Structure 1
């Protein structure tokens, strides 16, 4: 059953806010509030960027960096481990006015891949950098590498061991983190970051760094970040599809719900979507038992799972 629990209505009057998600998954009840609190911290920090004059692109980068730095989530520090027991990051970011975008994938040894994706967006020559090329680009743009062990948490090691033992990972946060925002000028932006799937093959790339699958933004319609089974999101181009439904007039909540239902119906896959439309209305949907989220901005804040 697809659950689309909340939506918010904005207007055309320059309202601003940021909506974040902490990943569609199956977090045990005892840990759910921790994930909600982490999302709320990220949303508040990003809303402060908007209140201080930053734009929507600044806000989504800041929100996702905050989640990357929180070891509760499957991104940045604490991200899940691949088959070699290492962290490989994927991330992307996009703004809707000039349709500029940047992404990195299969990246090892850097703490905040979303900011490297932002650097790719600003550089403008290419949209997506992979593996060693992404690491070289990051170093050339002044990002400091870190020891890969510094990104690994005990929880990530336990999750890998559990999957290999066939026990599953009922306390894991989900497949990704992300943020969408609309600022007072009407600029929309989206960003997504992940460690991918537990025990993934070396070099596996999911939807999170792919524009149109995991992230999309267009000021004429809105902005989207997805989470869940990445291969399904890639096959159906979910982020772009949600944006196109909003372009055709659907509420953000309805557009998100329809696409999550399509993912389930066509591919028997699960996931979640957060979205904001060009008029400042936001919504989300999930087909998993949990997807922590929070929204903060000029009209206050809300959060849940």
Structure 2
């Protein structure tokens, strides 16, 4: 998908393509389609089942699963299209986000994000990853941001854009990211019980921040010299 998104940038005057015609667009440029099914180890299956039980016991995912079954049950609506017959999407523990921010020698900033979605999302659901200003944003004069977390929460306060706006006003990547994630925590997670997020943030001068509201988030960085640094927890 991210290769198709780059083609939208380079070959069209559009910002976002969705649905079957986006697939036709990708096929026109001979992009390979990733296989939809992968062999899962016994350990991964056990983790998936445990997560399924956890997310459906309480919280918003429980009502999403009930709605999913109500809408897409063959008994309710007869034969389903092949896209709708697939099992609910994998749990958050397996369908994780991959994101990156980068700065080149010419001072050009870039951000990219690809996501596996959330557990039991309805077909047609759009998260924060493809939405400019929510899960992803890059401005050569302000900064670049790539987000991970629960997309619905990130969308509601346009996290990526707010972080870069604060940087444009003089805040450091660390300060801007901390303030916006604290806002997300205060406005959504503490009120509604969900809304974890993590951010990769890069300023035009090369300073950066990696911050997350969860106990851990695997990430890494490379300054252009030496070896990359990888860790699963950042301040």
Higher relative contact order (CA 8 A, sep 6+): 1
Aligned CA RMSD, in angstroms, stands at 2.3
1:184 aligned to 95, 101, 105, which one? Answer: 105
**When the two structures are superposed, what TM-score results if normalisation uses the length of structure 2?**
0.74
The correspondence of residues 190-269 of structure 1 with structure 2, limited to 5 A, is 190-268=111-189, 269=195
Residues 168-212 of structure 1 deviation map (CA, whole Å, 9 limit, x = unaligned): 899926741100011111110000000110221112110001100
Match of 2:231?
A: 304
Match of 2:4?
A: 116
Q: Which range is displaced more, 126-135 or 280-289?
A: 126-135
Q: For structure 2, list consecutive stretches of 5 or more residues without a partner in the other structure.
A: 57-89, 190-194
| Aligned-partner Cα distance in 1 for 2:92–2:25 | 35
Match of 1:90?
A: none
Structure 1 residues 153 and 139: alpha-carbon distance in aligned structure 2, compared to 1, 3 A threshold: farther
The structure number with the bigger radius of gyration is 2
Match of 2:198?
A: 272
Structure 1 residues 197 and 159: alpha-carbon distance in aligned structure 2, compared to 1, 3 A threshold: farther
| Aligned-partner Cα distance in 2 for 1:167–1:216 | 30
**Contact (CA 8 Å) 1:160, 1:198: kept in 2 or not?**
no
1:139 aligned to 27, 30, 33, which one? Answer: 27
| Aligned-partner Cα distance in 2 for 1:291–1:253 | 16
Greater fraction strand: 1
| Aligned-partner Cα distance in 1 for 2:119–2:200 | 23
**When the two structures are superposed, what TM-score results if normalisation uses the length of structure 1?**
0.58
Match of 1:52?
A: none
Q: Which range is displaced more, 228-237 or 123-132?
A: 123-132
| Aligned-partner Cα distance in 1 for 2:122–2:179 | 31
Residues 100-129 of structure 1 deviation map (CA, whole Å, 9 limit, x = unaligned): xxxxxxxxxxxxx11111111111232111
Greater fraction helix: 2
SS of residue paired to 1:202: coil
| Aligned-partner Cα distance in 1 for 2:212–2:95 | 11
